[in-house]
Structure 1
Amino acid sequence: MSPTDAGADTGQAQATAPPRRPAKAGADGEDTLDLRLPDDFVALFRQTTGTDAPATADLLDGVGDWGSVLTPAGTFQLVPVRLGRDLPLISRWMNDPAVAEFWQLAGPREVTEAHLLAQLDGDGRSVPCIGLLEGTPMSYWEIYRADLDPLARHYPARPHDTGIHLLIGCVADRGRGLGGTLLRAVADLVLGQRVTCARVLAEPDLRNAPSLAAFLSAGFRFAAEVDLPAKRAALMIRDRSLRDLL
Structure 2
Amino acid sequence: MSATDASTDADTASASRPLTGMGPVRRPEAVPARGPGPVGGPEGEDTLDLRLPEGFTALYTEEETSPMVPTPAADPDDVPAAPTAPVHAPVSVPQDTGLVGQVADWGPTSTPVGAFHLLPVRLERDLRLLARWMNDPTVAVFWQLAGDESVTGRHVRAQLAGDGRSVPCLGVLDGTPMSYWEVYRADLDPLARHYPARPHDIGIHLLIGEVSARGRGLGSALLRAVADLALDRRPACARVVAEPDLRNTPSIAAFLGAGFRLSAEVDLPGKRAALMIRDRILRHLL
Q: Taking structure 2 as the reference length, what is the TM-score of the superposition?
A: 0.77
Q: What SS does the corresponding residue of 2:196 show, helix, strand or coil?
A: coil
> Counterpart amino acid of 1:194?
R
Cα gap change, 1:32/1:25 in structure 2, threshold over 3 Å: closer, same or farther?
Answer: closer
Distance change >3 Å, CA 175–CA 235, structure 1 → 2: same
Residue 221 of structure 1: CA displacement? 0.6
Residue in 2 aligned with 1:235?
A: 275
SS in 2 for 1:131: strand
Q: 2:210 aligns with which of 140, 151, 170?
A: 170
Give 1:32's aligned residue.
47
1:234, distance to aligned residue in structure 2 (A): 1.1
**Equivalent residues of 2:18, 2:250 under 8 A apart:** no
Alignment pair present for 1:225 and 2:265? yes
Cα deviations by residue, 1:8-47 (Å, 9 ceiling, x for unpaired): 4233343432353366377735323331111131343576
SS at match of 1:39: coil
| Aligned twin of 2:105 | 65
- 1:243–1:15: structure 2 CA closer, same or farther, 3 Å change rule? farther
CA distance in 2, matches of 1:121, 1:130: 17
Instruction: Give the Cα–Cα distance (whole angstroms) in 1 for the partners of residues 164 and 203 of structure 2.
Output: 14
What do the CA deviations read for 1:78-134 (whole angstroms, capped 9, x no partner)?
Answer: 000011111111111111122112111111111111111100000000000000000
1:41 to 38, 44, 56: 56
SS of aligned partner of 2:118: strand
Q: Distance in 2 between matches of 1:175 and 1:66?
A: 26
Structure 2 vs 1, CA of residues 116 and 170 (structure 1 numbering), >3 Å: closer, same or farther? Answer: same
1:245 match? 285
Any gaps of 5 or more consecutive residues in structure 1? 51-56
The CA distance in 2 between the partners of 1:85 and 1:4, in whole Å, is 21
Task: Report the residue type matching 1:176 in the other structure.
Answer: R
What TM-score comes out, normalization by structure 1 length? 0.89
Query: What's the secondary structure of 1:166's corresponding residue?
Result: strand
1:5 is displaced (CA, Å) by: 9.2
- Which of the two has higher C-alpha Rg? 2
After superposition, the CA RMSD in angstroms is 2.3
Structure 1 vs Structure 2: percent identity of aligned residues? 65
Question: Are 2:21 and 1:16 equivalent residues in the alignment?
Answer: yes
Superposition deviation, residue 4 in structure 1: 9.5
User: Are 1:141 and 2:181 an aligned pair?
Assistant: yes
Name 1:54's counterpart in structure 2. Answer: none
Q: Amino acid of the residue matched to residue 166 of structure 1?
A: L
* Distance across 2 between alignment mates of 1:88 and 1:157: 35
Flag the structure with more relative contact order, 1 or 2, with Cα contacts below 8 A and sequence separation at least 6: 2
Q: 1:16 to 1:185 in 2, by over 3 A?
A: farther
Q: 1:245 to 1:211 in 2, by over 3 A?
A: same
C-alpha spacing 1:137/1:6, structure 2 compared with 1 (3 Å):
closer
After superposition, residues 115-130 of structure 1 pair within 5 angstroms as: 115-130=155-170
2:253 counterpart (201, 208, 213): 213
Give the unaligned 5+ runs of structure 2.
Answer: 33-42, 66-96
Query: For residue 199 of structure 1, what is the aligned residue in structure 2?
Result: 239
Separation in 1 of the partners of 2:44 and 2:113? 34
Per-residue CA distance 1:136-158 (angstroms, 9 max, x = gap) = 00000000000000000001110
Q: 1:32 to 1:4 in 2, by over 3 A?
A: farther
In structure 1, distance between residues paired with 2:187 and 2:4: 22
Q: Distance in 2 between matches of 1:76 and 1:6?
A: 16
The alpha-carbon deviation at position 66 of structure 1 amounts to: 0.8
Equivalent of residue 161 in structure 1, options 169, 191, 201: 201
